Structure 1
Amino acid sequence: MSDTFGRRLREHRHTAGLTMEQLAERSGVSARAISDMERERSVAPQRRTVQALAEALDLAETERPGFLAAARAGRSKGTAGVPAGCCALPRPVPDFTGRDRELARLTRVASAAEPAPVAAPVVTVSGTAGVGKTTLAVQAAHLLGTAFTGGTLFVDLRGMDARPAGAGETLARLLSALGVRDDEIPGDETDRAGTYRELLHRRRVLVVFDNVADESQIRPLLPGSGPALTIITSRRLLAGLEGVHRLNLTQLPAGDAATLLRRIIGDREPDVVAEVADLCGRLPLALRIAGNRLMSRPQWTLRHLADRLSDERRRLDQLIAGDLRIAAAFSLSYTQLSPPARRLFRRLSLAPGPDFDARLAGTLDPADPEGIEDALDELVELSLLQAHVDGRYRFHNLIRLFARERLAEEEPAAERVRR
């Protein structure tokens, strides 16, 4: 019988007279996973998977050792890189636009990833909701991936969830993806982290940790020395991390914002494109929502959309397309704030002018004058407020509208003062 596990699996399945779907039902292994194994897209199946398949195929005792050995051989070969489907990168967006300077910076950092004893480089990509952090990280990983012969890994750490991914469970996933057998993954989180660092000490791997909650979640996942590159995305600045390269994303330049919108909707009403881009605050997520909404309503003109967006009271309600909602993205950050920071966030929507300082913030929220600076720092850390020059702060215009909505909903008396 053929040596590779995929061929053995297919021949045993045919001998048993089973379809992939029937084997999937018997074994509890998905038909997609069985297909990937048979086509040798997945060459390193885990031991528990192989045992389940052997039971479902009702293999004779004389056939099982060869079946299990072929799987072990696949896992051994799989350790040189990353098995297909394990922590795989999402697809890049086909209309990615701009961020040339940031991509150039990531390319320079990647070229500096060298064998031990040089510390493996780490890059944090921070910014407000909808600014394109994940899109940039995925684009960079696809562009740079060929230089990382050990493979590329992508893990969503679910930082905005009520229960973000734990470091221990993430390390187990990473070790499995890097070819470590289940029975060889340490039970202790510290030992898992040490094993992970040891693997990256000698492998040229690119790892993207998306949507990081805070420093305590990511610290155990950082590499030591070696030729790996780690890219971290987070709404937080992660100021507590030491020795990292930092990229702080802001809204797109006017030209890139207009170009992105044109790539989504095509070449139509060019005199209105820049206006809609500005009304979207040049925020990539808002631009995509506006473009998708227009494309799903062929009877709409771009001018009609611009007119709808021009009403500040309804603008956030217009930036909805299917399951994409700009206000929902902001709300995830808002719920992470402490109660004093939430109150200040709402009250700051009353500030006149484009920016303000701590003194004005204190007059808008006089309930806790001693805590104003701390609340402002919290808002900046979570990218809900931009620290400007000379101790001044400013909102992104869509976030200001969101803060105003929260004020009207949660503090109607204060909202009446604005009017």
Structure 2
Amino acid sequence: MPRALVLGPAVLLAHGAPVDLGGTRPRAVFAALAERAGTPVPATDLIAHVWGQDPPRTVANQLQIAVHRVRAALGADGHRLLRLEPGGYVLEVGESDLGDFRRLTAEGERAARAGNWPAARTAFHTAAALWRGPVAGLEEERLAGIERRMIADLVTGDPLAVLGHADTVTEVTPPHERLWYLYILALALSGDEKGAERAHARIRRELADTLGLDPGRDLRDLAGHLARRDPAAALAPITGWVTGGGPARPRPMELPAEIRDFVGRGEEHAHARALLTPGAVVAIVGLGGVGKTALASRVARDAGEDFPDGCLFIDLRGVDETPREPHAVLGTFLRSLGIPDDVVPDDRDARLALYRTLTAERRLLVVLDNAYDAAQVRDLLPAGDGCAVIVTARTALPGLDASRVPLSSLPAGDAVELLRRLTGAGDDTPDVHRLAELAGRLPLALRIVGARVARRRDLGFARMVARLTDEHARLDQLAEGDRMVRSCVEIGYRRLSGEAAAALRAVVWLPVAEFTLEVLAGFTTVNSARVREIIEELADAQLLVLTRDTGDSLAAYVAHDLVRLCIRDIDEDEETRNLTLARGYRVLLTKAVRAANDLPFTQFPVLDPEPAVAVADPQAWFAAHRELLVAAPGAAQAIGEVDTAWRIGVSTVAHLDHTSRWDELDVIASVLETAVANLPPLGRAMTWHIRAKCLRESGRYRDAIRHMRLARVEYRRVGDALREASGLFELAVVTRHANQRSLAVAATDRALTLLSGIETAGRSAGVLGWVHLVRANTLDPAPEMLDQAERALTCFESAGDPAGVANAHGVLGVVLQRRGEFDRAFRHLEHAAHAHRAIGEVNGAIFALYMAADVHISAGAYDRAAYLVAEVIAEAERLQMRELHARAVRSMAVIRRLQGDLDGALEIAYTALAMVGELDVPTVKANVLRTLAQVAADRGDHDLRRRAAREGLALVPDDHPFAATFHALMAIDEADAG
């Protein structure tokens, strides 16, 4: 049977002598068939191998002619030895040098795994000698044979034999890192240390110049061995290149150099690393300049041991006007995987098939940086289950099956640390923190300002802060050379649809960064069905980030501060912008009025509801939009929407009042006051009413009374009896706090008169309930208080005001306790606790339990009281209700005293005293001192009794109820003396 030689120019041997194949093309057809002897080779493969990608029209005839000549050369058995089967042409030859090479290579590997390196060396030398020159398509195997021969020479102690391959090592393109490793090691082992250092420097330059890469891990490790003058240690890894099985293959390591001063990202790094298992695709997505490439490179380095066949890296230039074509990238990858230039297929499908073939059985990591979209990435995914991919992109890459790791600005501490490292700052000053915030904690921006401060010591943090504080100039300051924060945002913005771009231009002018899907809908003119698509487009572009996923219209989004600045800088159409904002604020007002009127709290009647769909959960709606509603009056007023401004502010009061957000209520009052002269009477009245609430809460009762009287004048001017009654209720609360009880009673009398003239149902019934409740807290004796509290409860139940119901039960419990009806008192207070919890008022519920415990103390049920007080102490500590916590601890001291445990009572009283020492509440401290003095009296500790009584007496006015107790405790001395 004939023999084929293909490890060089193709030769057919018959009876040991060459046979003329009859020309170049028959010889090429023979070579292609001989390389795959015994298996069918499709005609299309033969044509591609011989004629390339642009064959002539007569190629079928020419192939037949070439096949005929090969058959003729094979002799009488030509049609049997070269036959056409369903899968293609099959050539049968007895032996080939390629088969011998592969057999000898396998023998050498077996010998090496058995530890018989001399036998392995012989086999590898014999195999390598079969090559008569490079062969297209077999170059990787030729280099692998040379590599094995060099390894065997080094392991068996013959480095000089390796040096004979110098020309092969230095001429291979692209550079073959393992061959260079062996050559450099041979130089070192032969005693030429300087030559080894020069060779290592040369390969570093060649890798940088030809591929833009740093040396891989093996060459880096070798440099360490050389520096330690221990080249023998570098022999250990190379045996594994053979005994690990299979021919040696190029091991690319193409990651860019590690970034200087990498800071933070521990959580994201751990998340990405956990996801990066064989077969995974991990997408790191985020705004431009957020540090995606740096994190991807770091994760890839950390995962290197899991992917022993190396790492491919490429910048897909997704932010350029012309991103890289996947076809070109595949060519780059194939060259990195050892395919010579002239063998890389031009045909797209052939190139893709070869890439998938090469990656099918490898454990390779592929890093695709700066992807444009999923389509660009899809063809670059390796085929093997042992491979993994990291993609970075400024979009969420919809359509790509990947696990996503979102990347946002650095945490404050990490941002400050990065600035300190970049500038060498030793002190953690407020200016450094401020500068980090002004740079949006965006790594790119931080590096720009950090480099500028480090370069110009005269600039300093304070001056840099001053420059960035000016929003109009900030983006200009956050630019240096080709690094510009502005471009990071503009690229994504320019790719948006017209509707999404318009929506983004609207929301970046909102006075707060966070807004809901519902708000976005109000500030756009698109069909409501398109709003969710628009928000998804903006989120996919990383121009908005989801901060609260409720699955409905209350889902919240936020735009990065620098995104807001960039889009504002782009949007120069002020007239259109103001029209859009005005329309949006009016939509917000409509919903706010409706939500406010749907709230189950009635003490502050708001505006009449405008036509709108009822709000399913008004409390949740206000909670989701609170920050915007507080800031909206000022923003709306700034664009001339004065009427909209005061109405939004007024609509928000009931929610803020109920949730005790007095600082935010003060913001609204301050804004409305600046335009009060331009408001209608009702707007002025409600502005003064809001201000009075804020003044009352801050303890400025005289000013609060004055503002409430101003409000009442305006309410009377518009003839609004319900709101005037509500104002009188507020006036009664303020005057009662100011200890002007007669004025409080007079205010409630007038309110009751006003309400008698209107139908008391719904909200008006609720206002009536609050008037009765404040009257109950003002009147004396207990029977009148009880009557008013019961009337209040009836009104609240009629109005559907759960807050009022809870408060009425609480007052009834206190009144009944004073009357000695302890069981009824406890039931009302228990009901109050449940009612408070039902509306989310945990603080109110705990306080009701505290009062219920006091009822048990009054009734002598000390064990029950101790159980409740322990619960109040635990809850108050958890919720950091410091005053109630201290009061409950004092109550426990009272219980221990009444149970006769005076030592325990004394210890607990001292604990309570230490707690109130941190509070600025004189009456609470006085109450603790009263208990301490009583415990001291029971123990006969007269010095402690006198000290506690004197200190407590100094904390309260003479007409305070505690004063009488302190005087009585002091009088014990006089009684003893008498």
- Report the TM-score when normalising by structure 1: 0.76
Select 1:384's aligned residue among 519, 538, 543. Answer: 543
Q: Structure 2: which 5+ runs fail to align?
A: 1-162, 173-197, 211-245, 580-637, 640-978
2:345 corresponds, among 148, 173, 186, to: 186
Q: Which amino acid aligns with 2:460?
A: T
Report if aligned partners of 2:423, 2:450 keep a CA contact under 8 Å in 1. yes
**Distance apart, 1:279 and its partner CA:** 1.4
SS at match of 2:333: helix
Higher relative contact order (CA 8 A, sep 6+): 1
Amino acid at match of 2:262: F
Question: Residue 125 of structure 1 contacts residue 249 of structure 1 at CA under 8 Å; is this kept in 2?
Answer: yes
The 8 Å contact of residues 347 and 407 in structure 1, kept in 2 or not, is answered as: no
Aligned residue pairs: how many?
350
Q: CA deviation at 1:412?
A: 3.1
Q: Partner residue of 1:80?
A: 250
State how far apart, in whole Å, the 2-side matches of 1:196 and 1:280 are: 43
Q: C-alpha distance in 1, partners of 2:315/2:269? A: 21
Measure how far apart 1:374 and its partner are: 2.1
d(CA) in 2 for partners of 1:313 and 1:370? 36
> Is the aligned partner of 1:239 residue 2:394?
no
Partner of 1:100: 266
Deviations 1:135-194 (A, max 9, x none): 111222233335432222111111122221111111111011101123332333233223
2:323 matched residue in structure 1: 164
Give the conservation status (yes or no) of the 8 Å contact 1:78–1:179. Answer: no
**Distance (Å, rounded) in 1 between the aligned partners of 2:373 and 2:577:** 33
Tell whether 2:570 aligns with 1:406.
Answer: yes
Percent pairwise identity: 34
Change (3 A) 1:240 1:79: same
CA distance in 2, matches of 1:190, 1:7: 32
Q: Is the 8 A contact 1:7 1:38 kept in 2?
A: no
Does residue 326 (structure 1) correspond to residue 498 (structure 2)? The answer is no
CA drift at 1:320 = 1.7
Question: For residues 342 and 441 of structure 2, what CA distance do their matches in structure 1 show?
Answer: 50
Q: Are residues 8 and 319 of structure 1, via their aligned partners in 2, closer, same or farther at CA, if it must alter by over 3 Å?
A: closer
Match for 2:164: what amino acid?
S
What letter is aligned with 1:398? L
Alignment map for 1:209-224 (pairs within 5 Å): 209-224=368-383
Secondary structure of the corresponding residue to residue 314 of structure 1: helix
1:37 Cα deviation from its structure 2 partner:
11
Q: What is the CA–CA distance in structure 2 between the aligned matches of 1:415 and 1:280, rounded to whole Å? A: 26
Hey, what does 1:251 align to over in structure 2? 409
- Give the 3 Å change call, closer, same or farther, for CA 238–36 of structure 1 in structure 2: farther
CA distance in 1, matches of 2:529, 2:280: 39
Q: Distance in 1 between matches of 2:380 and 2:199?
A: 29
Which whole-Å deviations, capped at 9, do the CAs of 1:252-293 have from their partners, x for residues lacking one? Answer: 111111111111011245212111111111111111111012
Q: In the alignment, is residue 207 of structure 1 matched against residue 373 of structure 2? A: no
2:791 match? none
State the alpha-carbon separation in 2 of the partners of residues 306 and 317 from structure 1: 14
Given that residues 290 and 408 in structure 2 are in contact (C-alpha distance below 8 angstroms), is that contact kept between their aligned partners in structure 1?
yes
Alpha-carbon RMSD across the aligned residues, in angstroms, is 2.8
Q: Does 1:151 align with 2:293?
A: no
Map Cα deviations across residues 96-144 of structure 1 (whole Å, 9 max, x no partner): 011112222333334x32xxxxxx2111000111111011112222333
Equivalent position SS for 1:356: strand
Q: Secondary structure at the match of 1:316?
A: helix
In structure 2, distance between residues paired with 1:207 and 1:181? 20
Quick one: structure 1 residues 182 and 38, their matched pair in 2 at CA, closer, same or farther if it must change by over 3 Å? Answer: farther
- Paired residues for 1:18-417 under 5 Å: 39=202, 79-82=249-252, 88-110=254-276, 112-113=277-278, 120-242=279-401, 244-271=402-429, 272-366=431-525, 370-389=529-548, 390=550, 391-408=555-572, 411-415=573-577
- Displacement of 1:315 in angstroms is 1.8
Taking structure 2 as the reference length, the TM-score comes to 0.34
Cα distance in 2 between the residues matched to 1:240 and 1:189: 22
Contact 1:167 1:189 in 2 (8 A): no
The structure whose residues are more often helix, as a share, is 2
Residue by residue over 1:341-390, the C-alpha shift from the partner in whole angstroms, topping out at 9 and shown as x without a partner, is 22222121122323222332233232565533322211111100112213
Q: Which residue of 2 aligns with 1:53?
A: none
The answer to whether the Cα contact below 8 Å between 1:355 and 1:392 also exists between their aligned partners in 2 is yes
2:934 alignment partner in structure 1: none
Structure-2 change in CA distance of 1:298 and 1:124 (3 Å): same
Tell me the secondary structure at the aligned position of residue 389 of structure 2: strand
| Displacement of 1:218 | 0.6
C-alpha spacing 1:292/1:397, structure 2 compared with 1 (3 Å)? same
Inter-CA distance 307–268: structure 2 relative to 1 (3 Å threshold)? farther
Aligned partners of 1:39, 1:354: CA distance in 2, in Å?
Answer: 54
Q: CA–CA distance in 1 between the matches of 2:319 and 2:296?
A: 18
Write the distance in 2 (CA, Å) between the matches of 1:359 and 1:9: 66
Distance 1:326 1:8, change over 3 A: closer
> Which sits farther off after the overlay, 376-385 or 221-230?
221-230
- 1:224 Cα deviation after fit: 2.7
Closer, same or farther: CA 225–347 of 1 in aligned 2, 3 Å: same
Q: Which amino acid aligns with 2:297?
A: V
Conservation of the 8 A alpha-carbon contact between 2:424 and 2:454: no
Contact 2:287 2:488 in 1 (8 A): no
Structure 2 residue matching 1:225: 3-state secondary structure: coil
Letter paired with 1:403: I
- Paired residue type of 2:479: I
Distance 2:384 2:317 in 1: 26
* C-alpha distance in structure 2 between counterparts of 1:237 and 1:9, whole Å: 43
Name the SS of the counterpart of 1:295 in structure 2.
helix
Which AA in structure 1 matches 2:521?
G
**Pair member with larger Rg:** 2
Cα distance 1:131–1:105, how it changes in 2: closer, same or farther (>3 A)?
A: same
Find the partner of 1:2 among 154, 164, 188: 164
CA contact (8 A) 1:186 1:192 kept: yes
Deviation at 1:299, TM superposition (A): 0.7
Structure 1 counterpart of 2:270, one-letter code = A
Distance in 1 (CA, whole Å) between partners of 2:282 and 2:273 is 11
Matched residue type, 1:99: R
Measured at CA, do residues 38 and 266 of structure 1 come closer, stay the same or move farther in structure 2, by a change above 3 Å?
closer
Contact 1:200 1:226 in 2 (8 A): no
Distance in structure 2 (CA, Å) of the matches to 1:240 and 1:367:
25
Q: Distance in 2 between matches of 1:237 and 1:372?
A: 18
Structure 2 distance, partners of 1:397, 1:214, is: 25
* 3-state SS of 1:139 partner: helix
Q: Describe the superposition over 1:49-90 as per-residue Cα deviations: whole angstroms up to 9, x where unpaired.
A: xxxxxxxxxxxxxxxxxxxxxxxxxxx9883312x7xxx321
Structure 2: how far apart are the matches of 1:325 and 1:223?
34
Is contact 1:153-1:207 (8 Å) kept? yes
For 2:247 and 2:455, how far apart are their aligned partners in 1?
Answer: 47
